[in-house]
Amino acid sequence: MTEVRFGQAINRALIDAMTQDSSVVLFGEDVAEAGGPFGVTRGLLKKFGGERVRDTPISEAAIVGAAVGAAMTGLRPVVEVMFMDFVTLTMDALVNQAAKARFMFGGQVSVPMVVRMPHGGGINAGPQHSQCLEAWLAHVPGLKVVCPSNVADAYALMRAAIDDDDPVIVIENKALYATKGDLPEPPPPVAIGQARTARTGKDVTIVTYGAMVAVSLAAADILAKEGVDAEVLDLRSLQPWDEAAVLESLARTHRLVVCHEAVEAFGVSAEIVARLADIGFDELDGPLVRVGAPFMPPPFAKSLEDWYRPDAGRIVAAVKRAIA
Amino acid sequence: MAVGQIKPSSAELLRLYADMRLIREVEQRLSLLFGDGEIPGFIHLSIGQEAVAVGVAGALRTDDTLASNHRGHGHAIAKGLDLSRFFLEIMGRSEGYCGGRGGSMHVADMSVGMLGANGIVGAGLPIAVGSALAHQLRKTGAIACVFFGDGALAEGVLHESFNMAALWRLPILFVCENNGWSEFSPAARQLATEPSKLAGTFEIPAERVDGNDIVAVRAAALSAIETVRAGGGPRLVECKTTRVRGHFEGDPQKYRDAGEFDEIGRKDPLTRAAGELRAMGVPDGEIATIDEVARRRVDEAVAVARAGTAPAPEAALADVYSPKSSRAPARADAAA
C-alpha cells in the first residue's frame, strides 16, 4: 500500500500498460517534454522514448482523428485533450469515426483507443476551461465513458480503458489531481461498468461520480448527525453505468438523489432518474431529485464558481426533499 | 521511376484500362440500380475520375492502408475489394462488407487495408495520419494513403493533418482529386489557393498531374509511393480530374454549364486510354472484349447481391461494442 496522488496513479497506470504492451503509445499537446499540463505524463518520454511518447501540435481534431487511424492499424493509442472543453474540436473523430467504425464496418475492426480529458471547476479556470461535458459523450453509441473519484480507481480504470477494445473516454476531474490516497500493491482491477459503494446507508441512495463523491460523502456525514443514513454510490463508469447496482440500492433505501458537477439539465442524472422512474417505480417512496450546476456557463470569479459548483449543503437539501 | 520516363507496354496499359473499365461499369450499374430503387439512400459516383483510383490505389501494396471519402467506389475496387461483397453492401444485404450497416459511404475491407469510405469531408485525413504513424512505429514497411477532393481543402482538419504528417515525416501519400467542384459550388467560390501550393506551405513536396491521364497518374503515384516508402516523408499528388455526375446521384446539376460537359467528354480517361491503345496497335476487338468482361463481372456481382438477404434487426446491436469489451453497455432489454 503506497500513498500517491491521483495524477501519480494515472501516471503509474500508463507506465504499467506501456511496459506490458509495446503497442500502447501516448500523444497529445505537451504530454512528452513538459509531462502534461497537470504533470500526469511526467517521466514517460524519458522512460519510453520519443517514438511512443509524442508532443503534438495544437490540433485536437487531428490528435483524436490520428488516434482512430492508429488504433485501426494495430496500435493502442492513449491521447490527451488538454481540457475537456476542447472536446468540441474533436467531435467528428469521436462521434462519427471512433464510435462508429466497428459498427458501420460490420465488426471488421475495433478502435482500441483512450482519450483522456480533464473536466470540472475548482481552479477558477473560467467558462472555457471548467466544463463537465460527459453527457454529450455518454449519449453516443460506441463510446465508453469512465470518471474515477479516487486514487485506486484512477489507476484501475485507466488500465481497464487501455485494455478495452473500444474507444474509452477517461474523464479526470482537475480538482482531484492533487488529492492523495492509497494505491494497493498490486492495484486491484476494476471492470468498466461497475459501480462502487462508497458508503453504506439505509435511508437514501446518493448516486454520483468523480469529484462529487467526496462532496456527497461530506453531505452524508452532515445527514448522519441529523439521523439520516445515506448510502453513496460511486458510478465510476457513466457509459455503461451500473444500473443493477443503483436499482439494488434503491430497493433498500427507496429514495434516490443523483448528483454531478455538470449542468443539471439534460445531464447524466437525467438518464439515471428517467431509467429508475421506469424500472424502479415500485421501489420509490419519494421524488427522484437531481443535484447539478445551474443552467449557465461556469463562471470565473471565486465567489461565483464556489456558488456554481454543487456543495454538501445542496446535496443535503436535495436529500431532504427526497425523503420528505 | 521518374514521372513520364517510362511508357507502359500495351499489355500494362490494357490492364490499367481494364481496371478503369470495371469501375466505370460498376458505377454505371449503380446509377441504374439507384434509379430503379434497388439502392436506398445516397450514392456519390466518381465517373470520370477512374484514372486516379486505378493509377494510385492500384499502385499500392495490399498492406498499405487507404482512407477514402464519400466518392470512394473506385478507390475500393482499385484496392482489391471483392465485387460481390461490394454490391451486397451497397444494396444493403447482410452478406455485404459491413453487413448492410454502412452502405456506399462506408464500404471498407480491412483485409486489403481499405480503412473505409467516409461520409464526412476531410475526415479520412487524420485517420490516414494515424495509420501512417502506426506503420512508422511498427516498422511494417507499409504506407498510408488518403484520397480527398478539392472541397476538403477548406476543412480545418486537413491543415492539421498536413502539418502533423510533415512534422513527423510520416509515410503517407496525400492524393487530391481536384474535380473543381465542392458539392454544388465551383472551386472559385470555395478556395483561395490550390492544393499543391497549400502542401508546399507545410513543406510537403507536391506534384500536379492530369488526373484523367492514367499513364501520368500511375507514374506520379509510383514515384511518390517509392519516396514515401523509403522514409522520405509525406508527398502530395494533385490529380486534376472531372466529375461527370452530380454531387450525389439524382442531383440535376443545374448549377453547371452545358458546355462543360462537351469538354468533359473529350477528357474522359477511358476514351483517352482506348485511343492510346489503338495507337499502339491494339485491335478494337481486344478492347471490346475487356469491356464485355467488365460487364459480365458486374452482372454476376449484381446477381449475387440481389440474392443476398436483408440484415436481421435481431443482430443489429452486435457490433456497437467489441466482444472483448469489458462489458457491453447496451441494456439487455434494449435489443428486445
Catalytic residue among A29, A60, A172, A264: A60
Q: Under CATH, what is the fold of the domain A2-183? A: Rossmann fold (3.40.50)
Overall domain count for chain B: 1
User: Who's near B184: CB < 8 A, 6+ residues apart?
Assistant: B247, B251, B255
Choose, from A80, A119, A129, A264, the residue flagged as catalytic: A129
**Catalytic-residue membership of A60:** yes
Cα B201 from Cα B221, distance rounded (Å): 21
pTM listed for this prediction = 0.96
Question: Is residue A162 over pLDDT 50?
Answer: yes
Percent of chain A with pLDDT over 70: 100
Nearest to B322 among A59, A74, A102 (CB): A102
Residue of B nearest to A167 (CA): B321
Q: Is the omega angle on the peptide bond into residue A240 within 30 degrees of 0, that is, cis?
A: yes
Domain-embedded: residue B2: no
Closest C-alpha among A70, A54, A64 to residue A87: A64
Shortest alpha-carbon distance between residue B86 and chain A (Å)? 12
Is residue A243 annotated as a catalytic residue, yes or no?
no
B285 lies in some domain: yes
What are the chain A neighbours of B109 within 8 Å (beta carbons)?
108
pLDDT digits (tens, 9 = 90+) for B145-160: 999 999 999 999 999 9
Selected residue with higher pLDDT from B189 and A154: A154
**Interchain contact, A75 vs B327, CB within 8 Å:** no
* pLDDT confidence of residue B169: 98
Distances (CA, A) of B150 to A267, B109, B190: 40, 25, 9
The CATH number of whichever domain residue B139 belongs to comes to 3.40.50.970
- What topology does CATH give the domain A196-323? Rossmann fold (3.40.50)
pLDDT at position A306 is: 96
Residue A103 and residue B126: Cβ atoms within 8 Å?
no
Mean pLDDT across the stretch B93-116? 97
> In sequence order, what E strands does chain B have?
65-67, 144-149, 172-178, 181-182, 185-186, 206-210, 235-240
For B181, the domain range is: 10-335
- In B, minimum Cα distance to A164 occurs at B325
CB pairs under 8 A between A and B: 175
Q: Which of B75, B67, B74, B69 is nearest to B105 (CA)?
A: B69
User: Taking the domains of chain A in order of start, what are their residue ranges?
Assistant: 2-183, 196-323
- The sheet carrying B235-240 orders its strands as B65-67, B144-149, B172-178, B235-240, B206-210
For residue B5, being part of any structural domain is answered with no
State the Cα–Cα distance between residues B135 and A63, nearest whole angstrom: 16
- Angle separating helix axes A60-71 and B124-138, nearest 10 degrees: 60
A289 membership: H or E segment, kind and range = strand A289-293
Please name the residue that has the C-alpha cell 481496371: B19
Q: Is the pLDDT of residue B327 over 60?
A: no
Give all strands of the β-sheet with A114-119 in edge-to-edge order: A53-55, A24-28, A76-80, A114-119, A168-173, A144-146, A237-239
* Residues of B with Cβ-Cβ distance to A56 under 8 angstroms: 164
Predicted ipTM?
0.96
Which chain B residue has its CA at the smallest distance from A239's CA?
B329
Q: Write down the mean pLDDT value for chain A.
A: 97
Q: Is the pLDDT of residue A224 over 50?
A: yes
* CA B105 – CA B120 distance, rounded (Å): 9
Is B4 contained in some domain?
no
Give a yes or no: residue B177 inside a domain.
Answer: yes
Nearest-neighbour CA in chain B from A230: distance (Å): 28
Which chain B residue lies closest to A62 (C-alpha atoms)? B126
pLDDT confidence bin for A71, thresholds 50/70/90: very high
